A and B are shown apart, each in its own frame.
Chain A
């Protein structure tokens, strides 16, 4: 009996292995699995004959049947793996793309070049320990002029051709009013910058009636003119990404004393004897100075105890230099062909 069973198991096993080897699809494999390893499989039907065997024979047939099952299971799973891979491979073979066809456009916009400069400028000063403040664009005479030591009828008002509004208001001509407001709100040590739109009655290729200015100041007990030079030189070097030669020269702003203008050495093209030649020129880049004692007082500080420096620079001017542009107008034309270049 046992013998017969074992022989038929052997037969089943070799038959099954042959079927597995020659199976061509996952579907065929499914059928094979049901036939040989399912609940009603031929192996199980051999096993059902076990009840007729002696107790000694039973485990022998059981072991033998298990060997067959394991062998078949192993063969099935190996074949399945093989077939699955073959199927994936088949899919891959059919899936060639023309990768040179254009990609789907994912359009993202970007900030205006002036905004990018502003963010760079702000980041540089923030990294140096400055905070950022904002202020109104419609100002009164006091904050725009008087608190900055520019009394009415002072000739320095010629430097600020002002747009006036009814009700004794004006469009701020510089961001300096923010300075006075920030001083009044805070205690030294204090380092603040403010960036924003300012307005002057002026229009030509290098002047725009609206432009943006960065204004900053630092106040503490022993802020020096050397600090002013050092901080601003570092700012320019960082902004333009390379060491720039700068110079400071005397100037005049009613709200600073001593006052200075900072020039940066710049490579420019000039026509010399009919030939375009690269020459180095000093270009004016920002105004600065030690905060005037009167402004200190307006801000609520004792000028004998505290000193400070302040500076102001035109964002458009920095942008012209950084991007090598000649005319301010392009910034406000908002032609997307221009905007997309930055």
Chain B
């Protein structure tokens, strides 16, 4: 909300430095987020009177002006504005002033004529958008004073009472221990009462507890006077005419929205407040046609809607230059009803914003009268006697009991009932009763947000100043903290994968259907947002790999190569269970491109391949306490290359997948090289992480090493050979290491040789060669039987 400093201090009947006032407002919870300086801060843009204007010869539009700038003296200024005239009050930027957009004003010569500043248009100082001439100010503005500044104020949703100049002024005055009173309107009325001319029926008292209106006749709609235009503009609104501007003025002044109807266009001069029929339509002031629902509240005439209650008027009853009779509405609408309607039709207006936060129903008539008086003064209208006021049951404020010891405890401040009461009175709170232990107060009607003792405690703290409450350190029992296991595991994984050279990335949890589909990620259970920001962020990730692939590609485009990236984040999917419709779980994903290491003067680079990825996966799993993983090529997800992908198991449990990104996915992503990808299910892995490790004695007896080379069919999986060796090697087989795989010239076609180094060791004795021979021959026999494996040296012997 933008407020004029000049208007605010005038309303609060105070003088203040603008920066200091902004600070004080912020300190009482009315946060001034930014200040647009129009001279009040710098002192370099001032109010001035043009005392003489003469055209400069040989120019077609420049004038030489003599300007009275009060204490800054009488200055000669060259001005090109067509509207500059003698006697005009306007805005002068003195030499040294910096206008928005960093334009610095200097003493200068224009066509050989000295100019000591610049008369400014509204646009030049960002007061309004008008660049057609200098900004005209009301005649009573004090010449020589710095002009103004605009506060951008952030009003929190609970402080509906501060959505006006008066509301903010009231709070700042209360801080100074003063009370402010609203205007009392004085009206001259006709003899005939309004009830003879206008009939009001409220059909929905819940949505509209109070509806009041007045009628004005012989209205002359026209342009607003300068003071009114400037006031409206200082709030950021555009002047329309002297009727609409007054309703806006009172809204800015008191926060109470009003609406003016052209009464001649209200059929039968009959006002009916009712809910809309489902599917009924109306055209709004902004010319939008909307279709209503049965929950929307309407102001109607005898036949049709003339306003969407509390939100916006209808086009059919709009004030025009021909309007002569007006009906001025001031009502209290149910906040929820207005909020729902505004939300449903995507309309947020200054009126709906205030109604939905709760207006002060006690302000209904004073605001109505204030606007009536102003319209009468400005348009020469006649005010028809009396106001229609449906009254009714209004939200009440109930007395609140505050325990003084409790308030003192929470605020760590010695409080007394009388000191509190004295502060609250300026905010409009009424003391119902007070004794040493407690205080009972009734909040004013404009403070519907204050309902509990803690609300009063906040008011006390606010006026006392949060800064004056001492800092203290709380004491907690010395209770050790057991880390949640999932958190511990995530940290351990992070450490393990980083040790392997991977850099962490963080991606949005939402992505595009397109990306998931290009990467061949699952889409059947994808979670869709109902209101996504855009198509690129429309669905929740079902896998992390696609984002990482995208990161890798973007990095490659930036010439970052040989990437190793990882992410730990959640994936999401729909379930079939209506009570738990969504499933989310933590995953670890990592991707690699390019080389394991760069070409180095000592070592040649090697391309990262499946086995490197597998090694990393094993290393990470070992690091978190899982000694063995098994991989197989069953049931691969479609994201992986069908021949170069693997499923990762711990025991029988599938905990993830590793492999090369499916070439179709790489092609769809426009990436030429292989990308190694892996995605592991952290919560599944957690189930296999041992709670503790048990000590095993370190062998003290010598080891026996044996190497065997086995010839098997090309298609025999090495993993199966290995598990048989392991099984038959039993306890005594300490280490097993595949050190060579050979296929080629020296080998029969369709065969390969696997060379294993086996290390045997017994915990309690020195092994005898014969024992090992026996184990080895059992292994060779079993492998021969099951896979037709033969020892390589045997075959060479035969040759």
Q: Among residues 503 to 534 in chain B, which have CB atoms less than 8 Å away from a CB atom of chain A?
A: 503-510, 527-533
A339 with B597, Cβ < 8 A, contacts A109-B500, A248-B466, A307-B410 known:
no
Does residue B340 face the partner (Cβ distance < 8 Å to A)? yes
A197 with B509, Cβ < 8 A, contacts A102-B600, A225-B410 known:
yes
Does residue B584 face the partner (Cβ distance < 8 Å to A)? yes
Inter-chain CA distance A166–B525, complex, in Å, is 13
Does residue A250 face the partner (Cβ distance < 8 Å to B)? yes
In the complex the two chains form, is A335's CB within 8 Å of B528's CB?
no
Q: Could you say which of A126, A201, A290 contacts B531, with CB atoms under 8 Å apart? A: A201
In the complex the two chains form, is A257's CB within 8 Å of B452's CB?
yes
In the complex the two chains form, is A336's CB within 8 Å of B560's CB?
yes
In the complex the two chains form, is B454's CB within 8 Å of A126's CB?
no
Does residue A71 face the partner (Cβ distance < 8 Å to B)? no
Per-residue CB proximity of A205-237 to B under 8 Å, as 1/0? 000011000000010101111110111011000
Interface of A is mostly: mixed
Inter-chain CA distance A128–B474, complex, in Å, is 10
Per-residue CB proximity of B57-101 to A under 8 Å, as 1/0? 000000000000000000000000000000000000000001000
A104 with B600, Cβ < 8 A, contacts A134-B484, A336-B503 known:
yes
Does residue B346 face the partner (Cβ distance < 8 Å to A)? no
Does residue A158 face the partner (Cβ distance < 8 Å to B)? yes
In the complex the two chains form, is B472's CB within 8 Å of A108's CB?
no
Number of A-B contacts (CB under 8 A): 239
Per-residue CB proximity of A261-280 to B under 8 Å, as 1/0? 10000000001011000000
In the complex the two chains form, is A229's CB within 8 Å of B469's CB?
yes
Per-residue CB proximity of A232-256 to B under 8 Å, as 1/0? 0110000000000001111110000
**Size category, B interface:** 35 or more
Residues on B with C-beta less than 8 A from A199 are: 509
Q: Give the total of A residues in contact with B, Cβ under 8 Å.
A: 85
In the complex the two chains form, is B503's CB within 8 Å of A249's CB?
no
Q: Among residues 158 to 203 in chain A, which have CB atoms less than 8 Å away from a CB atom of chain B?
A: 158-159, 163-167, 169, 171, 189, 191, 197, 199, 201, 203
A224 with B412, Cβ < 8 A, contacts A138-B582, A248-B467 known:
yes
Does residue B563 face the partner (Cβ distance < 8 Å to A)? yes
A224 with B98, Cβ < 8 A, contacts A163-B529, A335-B560 known:
no
Residue ID in chain B nearest A150 by CB atoms: B157
Residues on B with C-beta less than 8 A from A260 are: 466
Q: Among residues 121 to 138 in chain A, which have CB atoms less than 8 Å away from a CB atom of chain B?
A: 126, 128-134, 136-138
In the complex the two chains form, is A225's CB within 8 Å of B469's CB?
yes
Residues on B with C-beta less than 8 A from A164 are: 529-531
In the complex the two chains form, is B458's CB within 8 Å of A250's CB?
yes
User: What's the least CB distance linking A189 to chain B, in Å?
Assistant: 6
In the complex the two chains form, is B157's CB within 8 Å of A252's CB?
yes
In the complex the two chains form, is A137's CB within 8 Å of B412's CB?
no
Per-residue CB proximity of A93-111 to B under 8 Å, as 1/0? 0000000011011011111
Residues on A with C-beta less than 8 A from B503 are: 109-110, 112, 336, 339-340
In the complex the two chains form, is B454's CB within 8 Å of A155's CB?
no
Does residue A299 face the partner (Cβ distance < 8 Å to B)? no
In the complex the two chains form, is A112's CB within 8 Å of B462's CB?
no
In the complex the two chains form, is B484's CB within 8 Å of A133's CB?
yes
Subset of 30 A-B contacts with CB under 8 Å = A105-B597, A108-B501, A111-B504, A115-B504, A137-B584, A163-B510, A163-B532, A165-B528, A165-B530, A166-B530, A167-B581, A169-B582, A171-B509, A189-B477, A197-B509, A197-B569, A203-B533, A225-B410, A226-B472, A227-B474, A229-B470, A231-B474, A249-B466, A250-B466, A258-B461, A258-B462, A332-B506, A336-B503, A336-B555, A336-B565
- Known A189-B477, A248-B467; 7 more pairs at CB < 8 Å: A102-B600, A109-B566, A154-B157, A165-B582, A227-B472, A229-B472, A252-B159
